[in-house]
Amino acid sequence: MAAMLLPLIVALVFLSSPCSSSDPDPLQDFCVGDLKGAISVNGFPCKLMSEVKPSEFFYDGLTKEGNTSNPFGATVTAANVLAFPALNTLGISMNRVDFAPGGLNPPHLHPRASEAGVVIMGELLVGFVTTDNVFRSKVLKPGEMFVIPRGVVHFQLNVGKGKAMTVTSFNSQMPGAVVLPLNLFASQPSLPNEVLTKAFRVDQNVINEIKSKFG
């Protein structure tokens, strides 16, 4: 009997698990995050509902152009739960990415979310590489959208003549970003050169030069 029930139990567990979503579902209408909350949970504890002000459901952090004076020529302004605590437990967040001409949002991945984006200004080459190393890309213009599956390496490069800007959205309040050049060459403490020379099949000088660019 138990053996006959096993496939049914496995199917029920599978169907009831949140396989298709990223963050867990909320258990209340809202739970504005108390970022200083003493209790550590998977997310932030809720502020008392009676203390939440109407203004806390609105955020203007994405109205401002990001400063692109950096070696990548691009900057990400995040509207995640840390910037906008009303997102807490809702499983969503957004970014604004600004690009100087030629600017690059370098290859990175989000461990906890898929990404959907829309180009607002300029022309962006948007690309990602699947886990079987197939590269897909397209040049997008304002109003055109892209999607990046969770955990997949992707980038955006400004290929237009002027500035560019995209707004992106995530199915997590805190998608996280593993920026490959920083992760590999600017970690603290540093990855051993022996690992990097073997991984990239180059000698120490090349690795030291790349590391030096990230200070």
171 is known to lie in a ligand binding site: no
Hey, which bits of 67-189 come out as E strands?
74-79, 93-99, 104-109, 115-121, 124-129, 135-140, 145-148, 153-158, 164-170, 178-179
Residues 93-132, interacting with Mn ion (CB under 5 A): 115
| 68 sits near ligand GLV (criterion: CB under 6 A) | no
Residue with tokens 């197939």: 134
> Does 115 sit near ligand GLV (CB under 6 A)?
yes
Minimum CB distance to ligand GLV, residue 105 (Å): 5
DSSP characters over 22-53: SSPPPSSS---B-TT-SS-BSB-PBPPGGG--
Q: Which does 95 bind (CB under 5 to 8 A by kind): ligand GLV, Mn ion, none?
A: ligand GLV
x/- map, 22-61, ligand GLV, by CB under 6 A = ----------------------------------------
Interacting residues of 147 by C-beta distance below 8 A, sequence separation 6+: 114, 115, 116, 117
Q: Give the C-alpha separation, 215 to 210, whole Å.
A: 9
* Interaction of residue 172 with ligand GLV, rule CB under 6 A: no
Size of the site for ligand GLV (CB under 6 A): 8
Residue 108 assigned ligand-binding role: yes
Q: Does 105 bind ligand GLV (CB under 6 A)?
A: yes
What's the half-sphere exposure (Cβ side, CA atoms, 13 Å) at 146? 24
Question: Which two three-digit tokens encode residue 48?
Answer: 């008392």
Contacts of ligand GLV in 72-101 (CB under 6 A): 76, 95, 97
The DSSP output letter for 67 is P
| Closest C-alpha to 34, from 22, 44, 20, 19 | 44
Q: Is 110 annotated as a binding residue?
A: yes
Give binding residues as ranges. 95, 105, 108, 110, 115, 154
Give binding residues for oxalate as ranges. 95, 105, 110, 115
Residues that bind ligand GLV in the complex, under the rule CB under 6 A: 76, 95, 97, 105, 115, 154, 156, 168
Residues that bind Mn ion in the complex, under the rule CB under 5 A: 115
